[in-house]
Amino acid sequence: METKRLVFIGVGGQGNLLASRLVGEAAMSMGIPAVVSEIHGMAQRGGIVESAVLLGDVTSPIVSTAEADVLIGFEPLETLRAMGKCNKDTVVITNTHPLPPFTVSVGQGTYPQVDESLDLIKKKAKKLIALDGIAIAEEVGNPLALNMVMLGALIGSGTIPIGAEDMKKVLSTSTKKAFLESNLKAFDLGMEKAQ
Amino acid sequence: MHKLLTDSPGEKMLLLGNEAIARGALEAGVAFATCYPGTPSSEIPENFFKISQESDLYFEYSTNEKVALEVGAGSAIAGLRTMVTMKHVGLNVAADPLMTLAYTGIKGGMVIINADDPFLFSSQNEQDNRYYARLSSLPMLEPTNVQEMKDMTIAAFDLSEELGLPVIIRTTTRLNHIRGDVLLGELKPVKTKDTFEKKPFHWVCVPAVSRNLHKLLLERYDKSAEKSDNLSYNQIIGEGKWGLVTNGVSFNYVRDAVSDLGISDKVSILKLGFSWPMPKDLCVKFLKQVEKVLVVEELEPVNETDLKAIAQEEGIDISIRGKGIAGLSRLFEYDPGMVRKAVAQYFEMDYKAPETVDTSDTPELPGRPPNLCAGCPHRATYYCVKQVYGPDAIYPTDIGCYTLGLLPPISMADFVICMGSSVSSGCGFSKATDQKVVSFIGDSTFFHSGITGLVNAVHNNHKFTLVILDNGTTAMTGHQPHPGVDTDPMGVDLTRISIENLVRGLGVKDIHIVKPFKLKKTIEAVKASMEYDGLSVIISQEMCPLFAKATGQFKKSKPFHVNHNKCKNHRDCINLLACPAMYLDGEQVEIDKNLCIGCSVCAQVCPENAILPLKE
Ligand SMILES: Cc1ncc(C[n+]2csc(CCOP(=O)(O)OP(=O)(O)O)c2C)c(N)n1
Ligand code: SF4
Ligand code: SF4
C-alpha cells in the first residue's frame, strides 16, 4: 500500500499518545503494517508531546521535516508551530480551542489569534480541517474526549485507509465502559465535522 | 492478568519497545530483575513491577544503578536468569561493578538493558554507551525494531549463559518508545532458586585472581567475536558496490532511504545487530565487495573508526566515511530525511528533498516548556526558600521534576550535572565563596546518591542548607517507589526508611521538617536554617498530587478562584508562583477550576486575600 506518515502534536495531558496508539492498533487489526512512535518523559509535564504513526512499507519511526501526509494538531498554537512537518500536499486537522502556555500567563510572549493562525495554516496546507474539539467533547459530556474527536476527524478526512468501523472496534475494546458511549459519540461528531 | 503474561504463542500484539524487552525476558524465563528507573528505560521495570505481583518473577527497584547491578550479580552468579535495566547515565553509576563483573562473569544468563538518549529528550547528556562494550569487553546487541527487541532479549540470555558473560543490549529512545507488531513466542518455565557454588579463587577479585580473570575475559571475548561473526543479527543485505553500514534505529532510515531512492540493486548494507565485538570476517567480506562506504550511526563514529582500522589492517583502500557527510553529525538523533539526503549526496545521486511549506510569515510563537504541575509541592517549597534567601544565594539543584525550578518565575537552579551533585557541589560552593548556598534534592535522588554527599558535608564541617523535597515518590520518571516510600498503596509491603532518622543518624544537628503548603511555618523554618551557623537540612514533606491521585491517596479540596472585588491586580500570584492553573483573561488573573487542586498556596501568597476557595 501507499505509505502514510501521520504526525500528532499536542500538549501533555491532551491524550494524543493514546490517539496515535489506537490508530496503530486499528491498522494492525486490518493487517496494515504500522509503526507508532512516542516520546515519554519530561515533555509530559505540560510541554509539547509529539507522536507519529507510519503506515505501509516504511519502518522508520520518525516523520522528517516536510514529510507528513497528515498533521493532527490538538492545540492551534502547536499545530501552527509544527507546520515545518508539512509540504504543500499535507492535510492538516486541528482543534481550534486554545490552551495558552504558562509563558503567556506570565507575560512572556503573546498567544497568536486563533483565526490568524488558522489562516496561516490554510494558506500553506493542501487542506485544513478545523474543529472545536473541546466544544464537542463538552457536548458529549466528557471533557477528556478530545482525542476521540480528533480520531473521528482523522478517519472522517479519508486520508488513511482505516474505516470508521475498524476504528470503532478498537475503541470499544480499549476504552473503559463508563466512557464508551460518550467516546463513540465524540468520535462520530468529529467524523461528521471532517467529512 | 498482565497482558505480557498472555500465553498464546503465534499471536501478534502491538507492543511498546520496552514492553517487547520485558516480554522477551519472560519468554527467556527471567527469574530476577532489578533496576533504577530512568527515561527511556522506565516502562520495562514498570511492567516487571506489576508482573512480579502475579508471577514467580522477583523484581525490585534498587536504590541506584550500582546497587541494581550488584544485586543482579548475586542472582546471576547464583545461577538465575537476571535482567538489570537502566538509562545510559545509569551505567556510569554502575560502571564500577560492571568492569569487574566482566572479569568474574556469571552463571545464570544476565542481560543489562542500557537505554541511550540521543537528542537528550530526558537526560543530562547524550553519551554513546557503545564505548562501554569496548571498555568492558562485554558483548553488545543493538536491536533495530520492536520484534528484534523481544527476540534479541531472548538471544542475549542464551548468549550470556553460553559465554559466561553479562550481555548488554543497547537501545535508544526512539526504539524504547516505538510501538509495533510483535509475534509472541512461548513463555519459558522459570528457575527461581539455585545454589551458589563457592570458588573463592574465581569470584574474589584480589589481584592474583583478577590477573587470571582478565585472561579469561579475553578468551571469552574471542569466543564472542566468533559468535558475532556467525550470528544472523549481523548481516550483509544486497550485493551492490555502494556500501552502507548501520546499527540500531538508523537501520530503518537506511533501509527506507534505499527504497525511496530506488537503489536496492546498487547497495550492500552491513547491518550490525551484534555490534560488539565487531564481526571482523563479515566486515572484511563487506569491505571487499563494495567500492565506497557510508557509515550511518547516531552519536559517536564508533563503527566508522573500527571499520577504518579493519580496512587498514586488511590493506583495503576504499573511502569509508560517516560523520560530516551531509547532515550526519555527532549530535542528536538522525531522521529518515537526513539519512536519505546523506546517502544521495555521498553516492552522487540527483536528489531533491521534499520542500517544507513556507513558514517565514509565522509570527514569533510563545514557548511551551514543561512546567511543574498545578499544586506541585516543589513550587511552594521554592517560594518559601526564595522569600528568605533571595535571588542571589547559590542554588545547586539535582535531577527530578524539581529541576523545572530552573524556569522563571522560580529561577532557582544554578548548577546540576548528575544525580546527587546538589549536595556535594554545595560543599564546594560554600567553601569556595562567601555566598549563601541552598541545595535542592528530591527524595528518590537523595537515596540514589545524595546520602554519601551528606555524610561528606557532616564530616568535613560544611556550612550550607540542604532541602530534601520529599514528595513520596520518584515523580519525574513515572512515580516509582523508593526506600522512603510507603508502598502499601502500590500493593507491596516493603520496609520504609525514614529520611528524618537517616539524616539525624548521619549527625546533622539542625533539622527542620516542614509542610510546604503551610507557607508561614515553612518560611520560619527556612529562616532558622539561614541563621544556623553550620549544616542545616530541611525536609519538605508533601506528596506529589499526581502520585496521590494515581494511588487513591489524594484528599480532594475545593479549587480556588480570584475574587475580583478584592483583587488589586499586583499579580504576586503570577509573578512569584505562576501555577499553571492561573491564566490571564484580558488584564484579570483567573484560576482554571479544572486544573486547580486546591493546595491554597496562592491564597497565602496574595496580599489582598483575594484568592478564595470556590463555593459550589
Ligand atoms: C544516574 C541516573 N539515573 C536515573 C536518572 C533518571 N532520573 C532523573 S530524575 C530521577 C528521579 C527523580 O525523583 P526524585 O528525586 O524523587 O524527584 P521528583 O521527580 O519526585 O521530584 C530519575 C530516576 C538520571 N538522570 N540519572
Ligand atoms: S508530577 Fe508531581 S512532583 Fe512532578 S511536577 Fe507534577 S506535581 Fe510536581
Ligand atoms: S490553589 Fe492556587 S497554587 Fe494551588 S493549585 Fe490552585 S491555583 Fe494553583
Helix (H, G, I), strand (E, B) or coil at B468: strand
Q: Tell if the CB–CB gap between B357 and A124 is shorter than 8 Å.
A: yes
- B295 close to B251: Cβ distance less than 8 angstroms: no
Considering the domain boundaries, does residue B364 fall inside one? no
Q: What percent of chain B has pLDDT over 90?
A: 97
In this structure, the answer to whether residues B80 and B184 fall within a common structural domain is yes
What is the number of domains present in chain B? 4
Q: Can you give the pTM of this predicted structure?
A: 0.97
Interchain contact A177–B (C-beta under 8 A): no
Q: Tell if the CB–CB gap between A111 and B366 is shorter than 8 Å.
A: yes
Cis, peptide link before residue B559, omega less than 30° from 0: no
What secondary structure does DSSP assign to B381-414, as a single string? HHHHHHHHHTTTSB-B--SSGGGGGGSTTT----
Kindly state the average pLDDT of the residues B586-610.
Answer: 94
Considering the domain boundaries, does residue B145 fall inside one? yes
CA-to-CA separations, B582 to B372, B403, B591, B602, in angstroms, rounded: 13, 21, 4, 10
Ligand 3 atom with the smallest distance to the CA of B595 is 5
Considering the domain boundaries, does residue B366 fall inside one? no
- Provide the pLDDT for residue A41: 67
User: Which three three-digit cell numbers place residue B340?
Assistant: 536519505
With bands split at pLDDT 50, 70 and 90, how would you rate the model's confidence at B553? very high
User: Which three three-digit cell numbers place residue A141?
Assistant: 459530556
Q: Tell if the CB–CB gap between B401 and A78 is shorter than 8 Å.
A: no
Interchain contact B14–A (C-beta under 8 A): yes
**Å between A62 CA and nearest CA of chain B:** 6
- One-letter identity of residue B521: K
Domain boundary residue, one of B229, B247, B275: B229
Q: How many CB atoms lie within 10 A of CB A31?
A: 9
Say which of A36, A57, A65 has its CB closest to residue B179.
A36
Q: Any residues with Cβ below 6 Å from ligand 2, and which?
A: A 45; B 372-373, 376, 378, 401, 471, 475, 544-546
Mean pLDDT of chain B: 97
B542 closest CA partner among B557, B527, B560: B557
Query: Ligand 3 center to residue B596 CA distance, Å?
Result: 5
Q: Residue B294: is its pLDDT beyond 80?
A: yes
Considering the domain boundaries, does residue B187 fall inside one? yes
- A82 close to A117: Cβ distance less than 8 angstroms: no
Dihedral angle of Cα A177, A178, A182, A188, to the nearest 10 degrees:
0
A70 closest CA partner among A82, A86, A84: A86
Q: Tell if the CB–CB gap between A62 and B180 is shorter than 8 Å.
A: no
**Å between B124 CA and nearest CA of chain A:** 12
Task: Give the count of alpha carbons within 13 A of B467, CB side only.
Answer: 37
In this structure, the answer to whether residues B107 and B184 fall within a common structural domain is yes
Considering the domain boundaries, does residue B520 fall inside one? yes
In this structure, the answer to whether residues B520 and B566 fall within a common structural domain is no
CATH label of the domain that carries residue B594: 3.30.70.20
Considering the domain boundaries, does residue B368 fall inside one? no
Considering the domain boundaries, does residue B539 fall inside one? yes
Nearest CA, atom 2, ligand 3: B602
Q: What is the ipTM of this complex?
A: 0.95
Task: Give the count of alpha carbons within 13 A of B342, CB side only.
Answer: 27
B368 closest CA partner among A106, A114, A17: A106
Domain residues for the domain of B255 are 232-346
CATH label of the domain that carries residue B272: 3.40.50.920
Interface residue of B14, B181, B373 to substitute, partner A, most A CBs within 10 Å: B14
In this structure, the answer to whether residues B187 and B49 fall within a common structural domain is yes
In this structure, the answer to whether residues B26 and B167 fall within a common structural domain is yes
Could you read off the pLDDT of B136-169 as tens digits, one per residue? 999 999 999 999 999 999 999 999 999 999 999 9
Nearest CA, atom 3, ligand 2: B544
Q: Residue B231: is its pLDDT beyond 90?
A: no
CA distance B147 to B307: 28
Helix (H, G, I), strand (E, B) or coil at B110: strand
Nearest CA, atom 2, ligand 2: B544
Q: Tell if the CB–CB gap between B253 and A37 is shorter than 8 Å.
A: no
CA-to-CA separations, B345 to B266, B286, B337, B353, in angstroms, rounded: 15, 21, 12, 11
Interchain contact B584–A (C-beta under 8 A): yes
- Provide the pLDDT for residue A42: 65
Interchain contact A56–B (C-beta under 8 A): no
B89 closest CA partner among B420, B465, B356: B420
With bands split at pLDDT 50, 70 and 90, how would you rate the model's confidence at A104? confident
- Provide the pLDDT for residue B122: 93
Could you read off the pLDDT of B379-416 as tens digits, one per residue? 999 999 999 999 999 999 999 999 999 998 999 999 99
In this structure, the answer to whether residues B178 and B305 fall within a common structural domain is no
Homologous superfamily of A4-194 in CATH?
Pyruvate-ferredoxin oxidoreductase, PFOR, domain III (3.40.920.10)
CA distance A53 to A30: 15
Q: Which residues of A touch B408 (CB under 8 A)?
A: 106, 108
- A33 close to A57: Cβ distance less than 8 angstroms: yes
In this structure, the answer to whether residues B287 and B214 fall within a common structural domain is no
**Å between B223 CA and nearest CA of chain A:** 33
